[in-house]
Amino acid sequence: MTTVKVRRAAPPAPVIARRSLAGLVPAVLWGGAVAVLALWWADTASVVGTAGRLTGAGRIAGLLCGYACAVLVGLMARVPPLERRIGSDRVARWHAMAGRYTICLLVAHVALILAGYAAQDRASLWRETINVVLNYPDMLKATAGTVILLAVGVTSVRAARRRTSHEFWYYVHLLTYAAVFLAFFHQVTLGEEFNGKPVATAFWYALYLGVASLVLWFRVLVPVRLNRRHRLRVDSVHEEARGVYSVVVRGRRLDELGARPGQFFRWRFLCDGMRWASTPYSLSAPPRPDLLRITVKAIGDHSAAVALLRPGTRVWAEGPYGSLTADRATSHRSLLIAAGSGVTPLRTLFETLPGEVALLYRAHCAEDLALGGELEEIARRRGARVLYALNGPGGERPHLTAEWLRTTFPGLPGHDVYVCGPHGFARDVYEALRAAGVPDRRIHHESFEL
């Protein structure tokens, strides 16, 4: 490891900790699920016999599945208070969890309803399935929606995602909107909780129209306004390290975006092979009124194509998103721990966080250190420390143990620690920090491994 030490700047006043909605939002969502169950309870006088129990359970699963679909889409709407105050990574995990609930409830609804109808009609399950799909109102659309949702669920399984490109997963995931739209109509047409019940029907329409409005506003209208107003174009592309490139984007009045060090945008470069995928990349330098910069490691089709971008290429951006900012700080001392491309948001915080700051950068070898020269310059300018954790001559990995961290960073439990890197690395560092005595509330990280 190599250490750069220079004088330290005097720490400013402690930063006030951010307020979080992380506890309130799940409580509201679970409260909505209870309200949905109340619809079934109010409409059901009694449950009799095997057929009644099966169809009753199927109705409950269907109602909860319909509600989960609305929640699923709402969490995809990129609502700023969620994305910026709670954190995009946590919202993404909630979305993934809602997706798993939705698929399980969908399968349960289909299986239980068909079994119940078959028992009621004394027919085979196959015959009853054909009858329901072909003869019940809006069931062909619902069947199409079901197939799409199952396809989205399969491609979202971690093992499947590792074998497919981000672009393919992204395109399939967008079909969730079509699936929810197709499945909605059979809910209000066939749902006994809504037939002849204007209050319940109005509630269901309000739920879906409200979620649709969030998507329309934050995923369509707001990005259109942003890009028409700021006119983003590629200014230049620079190689930073082996397979790592920085893209400088120029635009108008970019200070009005409100972007902060540590945040990211979702980028779409309007050129062949890149215009149809929106990919998140963090800012790798503090934003300027006319320039933004991202630094990208080539690990997929989209990121590899970044090196081929030409000046003048139009850029479509959405954001800023993310809560890995100075708002999380509770102390005047900070430790930043980065690995791989996780150094990009931490590089901006290294330059801008107030107080005493140190950066630990994990990489395989010196050739993989992106932005190393900038980090050294920032360290000299503000009196900070940069430490590199590199593999040994034989390829052996350094062990960032709790004991090593305590020894290297005196007073570690009193630091705010920002962690950004691959999921396994972030998990190991988190466990070492907790073993070193750092409170959970002072460990700040964003991870999109679902």
User: Topology of 235-321 in CATH?
Assistant: Elongation Factor Tu (Ef-tu); domain 3 (2.40.30)
Integer Cα distance of 129 and 137 in angstroms: 14
At which residue do the structure tokens 């230049």 appear?
236
**Cα atoms in the Cβ-side hemisphere of radius 13 Å centred on 397:** 7
Judge if the upstream peptide bond of residue 439 is cis by omega within 30 degrees of 0.
no
Q: Taking Cα atoms as reference points, which of 328, 348, 316 lies closest to residue 233?
A: 316
Integer Cα distance of 17 and 106 in angstroms: 41
Integer Cα distance of 239 and 396 in angstroms: 27
Q: What is the pLDDT of residue 393?
A: 79
Q: What is the pLDDT of residue 172?
A: 85
The CA radius of gyration of the chain, in Å to the nearest whole number, is: 26
Domain boundaries, the chain: 3-16+325-445, 24-226, 235-321
CB 413 within 8 A of CB 54: no
Which residues are paired to 295 by β-bridges? 246
Integer Cα distance of 67 and 184 in angstroms: 10
CB 300 within 8 A of CB 274: no
Q: Which two tokens stand for residue 167?
A: 């672009």
Integer Cα distance of 259 and 417 in angstroms: 21
Handedness of CA 146, 98, 260, 245 (dihedral sign): negative
Q: What is the pLDDT of residue 214?
A: 96
**Cα atoms in the Cβ-side hemisphere of radius 13 Å centred on 51:** 8
At which residue do the structure tokens 């072909």 appear?
134
Q: Which two tokens stand for residue 389?
A: 């954790």
Integer Cα distance of 69 and 62 in angstroms: 10
Provide the terminal-to-terminal Cα distance of the chain, rounded to the nearest Å: 32
**Cα atoms in the Cβ-side hemisphere of radius 13 Å centred on 364:** 7
Q: What is the pLDDT of residue 447?
A: 66
The full length of the chain comes to 450
Tens of pLDDT along the chain (450 residues) come to 333 333 333 333 333 333 456 778 889 999 999 999 998 898 887 788 999 999 999 999 999 999 999 999 999 899 988 888 888 888 888 888 999 999 999 999 999 999 999 999 989 999 999 999 999 999 999 999 999 999 998 888 877 777 777 778 888 888 899 999 999 999 988 888 888 788 889 999 999 999 999 999 999 999 999 999 999 999 999 998 888 899 999 999 999 999 999 999 999 999 987 888 888 899 999 999 999 999 998 777 677 888 899 999 999 999 999 889 998 888 899 999 999 888 999 999 999 999 999 999 998 888 888 888 899 999 999 999 999 999 887 778 888 999 999 999 999 999 999 999 888 899 999 999 999 999 998 999 876 554
Handedness of CA 147, 152, 154, 155 (dihedral sign): positive
Which amino acid, residue 39?
Answer: L
Integer Cα distance of 31 and 68 in angstroms: 12
Q: Kindly report the three-state secondary structure assignment for every residue of 307-346.
A: HHCCCCCEEEEEEEECCCCHHHCCCCEEEEEEEHHHHHHH
**Stated pTM of the model:** 0.81
Whether 235-321 and 3-16+325-445 are alike in CATH topology: the answer is no
Cα 114 to Cα 19, 47, 48, 119, 190, distances in angstroms: 47, 17, 17, 9, 14
Q: How many CB atoms neighbour CB 54 within 10 A?
A: 21
Q: What is the pLDDT of residue 21?
A: 65
Q: Each residue of 191-203: b (16+ CB within 10 Å) or e?
A: bebbeebeebbeb
CATH architecture of 3-16+325-445: 3-Layer(aba) Sandwich (3.40)
CB 390 within 8 A of CB 364: yes
CB 92 within 8 A of CB 448: yes
Give the single-character DSSP code of 300: S
Integer Cα distance of 239 and 90 in angstroms: 32
